[in-house]
């Protein structure tokens, strides 16, 4: 029997920015509950909630202070249980974002670990003695800038943090700490959640000897490496260890003990380990890399090469996404603009919904939202604080959802929003698009419907037919169904020769057909079914 998540469309919700029900400016669980009909109307199969646990919000939920609770600004446990029930009533599954690799420094585990080198949780975090001159024990760098070590005089030691110093790394080499992390998953599975997205799932284990990361050779460095100091290292000692698989296997065993559940992960930095960390019978069920999330070129060979790479991994079902809470939105990244571009939004959605894999759709992508503008005094994200104005961090892709044009804060909240509502989003508000059957919203619904109606798109194999400077073409096949998907991703016209009789199903943009030859205008697509 095919698992429900294979070929599914999962709608990612960043709760703080989705819908605020009580006017405090922060989105909440009750706000999500009030929009479940909207989400169900998209035709998606599940919702993924970014972290909902109590947090001091240094990294807005990705610094967890209590794994078994609900952040008070988001709601209550009773409210969460009601949200699950209402989602399930509409046929929507609920996936939680869990951060097992690190906690907040306000988590009780860390508070106890900090007290001494002999207490019961002394080894639940990654501690190390300073060098003789007081400097950190090795060269590991934080993703958020500077050394990945902070000194604490209470233990006279450094502790490791891959991200902020307020996010100490849990030592999952410790059997008791690992057992406690697995108990977190059981706690929420017992409350009816349908699965998990695991944050930085490649980073559960670190090199126990704490050896230096090697440098990326000078000759191999690209703009990506120079954009951020940690990228100048190959992060194979602070994360991406092959033995990380042992933790993932135990997580899989926990999840598979419950009926019909799903666990996938975020895998960054060393994508070649994806097949080792996820698969049909080992590791997580699937996972995604940052190959598409970081791409700004929108070139055919990016997609062709990644699927060639995926095709070499035996038994792996792909997971595909173009956007999330950590990267610029699709329209902004591919279009290099802060302006709306409905045509580009429709093209990108068509590609996303026809690729092989489980699809992750970030909130607002169904409206074609670009990033929102952020000024210096509005920054909440530590990455923005680090690099502004060169980079405004992740706040621009996290601005509140525009629900109702004409209402204060576009219907997101009747209070001051935690991030500013983008003025340009008023024209893209959900209520306006609902009234326009040519809108991105209506188009997104139709695409999800097409994917569900065609097993070849949801579950089929994928064979790349062409990947030129302009054209990406591939065929999806399932049983006797064959669907041909042709995309001109370039800003100028292109042509593609079809092979054999193919009946048209969908045009995106201007496409002309003369016999077996398609002429595609700039950034257009054609989908057809072999007869």
Q: What CATH number is associated with residue 472?
A: 2.60.40.1180
- Claim to verify: residue 443 and residue 465 sit in the same structural domain: no
Under the banding of pLDDT at 50, 70 and 90, the label for residue 407 is: very high
Structure token pair of residue 279: 């698969």
- Claim to verify: residue 338 and residue 298 sit in the same structural domain: yes
Paired sense of beta strands 149-152 and 157-160, if any: antiparallel
Q: Tell whether 351 is covered by a domain.
A: yes
CB 74 within 8 A of CB 29: yes
DSSP element (H, E) containing 188? helix 175-189
Q: Which pLDDT score, from 0 to 100, does residue 255 have?
A: 98
CB 32 within 8 A of CB 70: no
Q: Tell whether 229 is covered by a domain.
A: no
- Claim to verify: residue 303 and residue 405 sit in the same structural domain: yes
Q: Tell whether 153 is covered by a domain.
A: no
Q: How far, CA to CA in Å, does 345 sit from each of 342, 364, 370?
A: 5, 11, 9
> What average pLDDT score do residues 119-145 get?
97
Number of domains in the chain: 2
User: What DSSP line would sit under 423-487, residue for residue?
Assistant: GGGGGG-HHHHHT-TTSHHHHHHHHHHHHHH-HHHHH-EEEEEEE-SSEEEEEEEETTEEEEEEE
CB 372 within 8 A of CB 332: no
- Claim to verify: residue 249 and residue 340 sit in the same structural domain: yes
CA distance between the termini of the chain: 28
Q: How far, CA to CA in Å, does 123 sit from each of 50, 116, 119, 441?
A: 28, 10, 8, 50
Q: Tell whether 150 is covered by a domain.
A: no
414 vs 25: CA distance, rounded Å: 7
Structure token pair of residue 376: 């210096």
- Claim to verify: residue 496 and residue 438 sit in the same structural domain: no
480 vs 498: CA distance, rounded Å: 18
| Confidence check: pLDDT of 397 > 90 | yes
- Claim to verify: residue 249 and residue 372 sit in the same structural domain: yes
pLDDT in tens, 499-512: 989 999 999 999 99
pLDDT in tens, 438-488: 999 999 999 999 999 999 999 999 999 999 999 999 999 999 999 999 999
Q: Tell whether 282 is covered by a domain.
A: yes
Q: Which pLDDT score, from 0 to 100, does residue 254 have?
A: 98
Of 449, 472, 488, at which residue does a domain stop?
449
Domain of 510 in residue numbering reads as 461-530
Residue 518 DSSP SS3: strand
Could you check whether the bond before residue 389 is cis, i.e. omega within 30 degrees of 0? yes
Paired sense of beta strands 358-362 and 319-320, if any: parallel
- Claim to verify: residue 380 and residue 509 sit in the same structural domain: no
Which residues are designated catalytic? 199, 266
441 vs 30: CA distance, rounded Å: 23
- Claim to verify: residue 478 and residue 373 sit in the same structural domain: no
As beta bridge partners, residue 115 has none
pLDDT in tens, 84-98: 999 999 999 999 999
Of 383, 415, 449, at which residue does a domain stop?
449
370 vs 354: CA distance, rounded Å: 22
Residue 97 DSSP SS3: strand
Q: How far, CA to CA in Å, does 429 sit from each of 248, 400, 414, 456?
A: 40, 11, 16, 33
**Cα dihedral sign, 450-455-459-461:** negative
Residue 385 DSSP SS3: helix
Closest alpha carbon to 290 in 224, 377, 337? 224
pLDDT in tens, 12-51: 999 999 999 999 999 999 999 999 999 999 999 999 999 9
CB 315 within 8 A of CB 277: no
Return the axis-axis angle of helices 342-354 and 440-453, rounded to nearest 10°.
10
| Confidence check: pLDDT of 197 > 90 | yes
Under the banding of pLDDT at 50, 70 and 90, the label for residue 287 is: very high
Q: Tell whether 147 is covered by a domain.
A: no
Farthest CA pair distance, the chain: 78
Phi, psi dihedrals of residue 182, rounded to the nearest 5°: -65, -35
> What average pLDDT score do residues 264-293 get?
97
- All residues at 6 or more sequence positions from 13 whose CB lies less than 8 Å from its CB, including other chains: 32, 47, 48, 49, 50, 363
Q: What is the pTM of this model?
A: 0.98
- Claim to verify: residue 289 and residue 336 sit in the same structural domain: yes
Q: Tell whether 223 is covered by a domain.
A: no
Q: How far, CA to CA in Å, does 412 sit from each of 26, 37, 178, 476?
A: 9, 16, 39, 39
Please give the share of the chain, as a percent, with pLDDT higher than 70: 100
Q: Which pLDDT score, from 0 to 100, does residue 500 have?
A: 87
User: What DSSP line would sit under 19-48, residue for residue?
Assistant: --SSSSSS--HHHHHHTHHHHHHHT-SEEE
Mean pLDDT score across all residues of the chain: 97
CB 350 within 8 A of CB 525: yes
| Confidence check: pLDDT of 173 > 90 | yes
> What average pLDDT score do residues 181-195 get?
98
Of 407, 429, 449, at which residue does a domain stop?
449
- Claim to verify: residue 415 and residue 469 sit in the same structural domain: no
The CATH number of whichever domain residue 302 belongs to comes to 3.20.20.80
As beta bridge partners, residue 229 has none
Sheet holding 517-520, edge to edge: 494-497, 517-520, 511-514
Within 396-454, residue ranges assigned H as helices are 430-434, 440-453
CB 235 within 8 A of CB 254: no
- Claim to verify: residue 354 and residue 486 sit in the same structural domain: no
421 vs 412: CA distance, rounded Å: 8
Closest alpha carbon to 62 in 73, 51, 72? 51
- Claim to verify: residue 202 and residue 273 sit in the same structural domain: yes
Q: Tell whether 163 is covered by a domain.
A: no
Q: Which pLDDT score, from 0 to 100, does residue 531 have?
A: 82
């Amino acid at each position: 029997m095919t698992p429900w998540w294979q070929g599914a469309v999962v709608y990612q919700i960043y709760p703080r920015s989705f819908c605020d029900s009580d006017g405090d400016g922060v989105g909440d669980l009750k706000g999500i509950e009030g929009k479940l009909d909207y989400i169900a109307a998209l035709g998606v199969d599940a919702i993924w909630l970014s972290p909902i646990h109590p947090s001091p919000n240094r990294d807005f939920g990705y610094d967890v202070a209590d794994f078994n609770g609900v952040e008070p600004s988001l709601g209550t446990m009773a409210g969460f249980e009601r949200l699950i029930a209402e989602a399930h009533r509409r046929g929507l599954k609920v996936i939680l974002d869990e951060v097992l690799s690190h906690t907040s420094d306000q988590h009780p585990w860390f508070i106890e670990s900090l007290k001494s080198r002999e207490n019961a949780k002394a080894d639940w975090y990654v501690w190390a003695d300073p060098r003789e001159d007081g400097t950190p024990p090795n060269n590991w760098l934080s993703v958020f800038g500077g050394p990945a070590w902070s000194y604490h005089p209470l233990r006279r030691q450094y502790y490791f943090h891959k991200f902020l110093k307020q996010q100490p790394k849990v030592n999952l080499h410790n059997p008791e700490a690992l057992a406690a992390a697995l108990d977190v998953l059981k706690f929420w599975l017992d409350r009816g959640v349908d699965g998990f997205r695991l944050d930085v799932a490649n980073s559960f284990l670190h090199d126990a000897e704490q050896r230096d990361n090697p440098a990326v050779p000078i000759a191999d460095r690209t703009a990506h490496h120079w954009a951020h100091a940690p990228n100048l290292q190959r992060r194979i000692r602070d994360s991406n260890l092959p033995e990380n698989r042992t933790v993932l296997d135990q997580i899989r065993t926990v999840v598979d003990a419950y009926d019909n559940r799903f666990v996938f992960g975020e895998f960054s930095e060393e994508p070649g380990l994806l097949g080792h960390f996820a698969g049909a019978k080992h590791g997580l069920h699937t996972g995604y890399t940052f190959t598409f999330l970081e791409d700004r070129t929108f070139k055919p060979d990016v997609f062709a090469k990644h699927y060639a790479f995926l095709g070499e991994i035996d038994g792996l079902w792909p997971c595909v996404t173009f956007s999330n809470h950590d990267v610029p939105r699709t329209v902004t990244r591919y279009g290099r603009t802060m302006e709306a571009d409905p045509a580009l939004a429709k093209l990108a959605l068509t590609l996303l919904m026809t690729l092989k894999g489980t699809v992750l759709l970030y909130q607002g992508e169904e409206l074609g939202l670009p990033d929102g503008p952020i000024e210096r005094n509005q920054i909440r994200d530590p990455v923005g604080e680090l690099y502004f104005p060169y980079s405004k961090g992740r706040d621009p892709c996290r601005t509140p959802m525009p629900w109702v044009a004409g209402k204060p804060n576009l219907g997101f909240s009747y209070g001051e929003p935690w991030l500013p509502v983008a003025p340009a989003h008023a024209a893209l508000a959900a209520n306006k698009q609902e009234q326009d059957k040519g809108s991105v919203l209506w188009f997104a619904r139709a695409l999800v419907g097409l994917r569900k109606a065609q097993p070849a798109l949801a579950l089929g194999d994928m064979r790349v037919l062409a990947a030129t400077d302009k054209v990406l073409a591939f065929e999806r096949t399932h049983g006797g169904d064959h669907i041909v998907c042709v995309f001109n991703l370039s800003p100028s016209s292109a042509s593609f020769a079809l092979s054999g009789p193919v009946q048209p199903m969908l045009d995106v943009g201007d496409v002309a057909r003369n016999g077996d030859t398609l002429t595609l205008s700039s950034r257009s697509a054609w989908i057809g079914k072999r007869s």
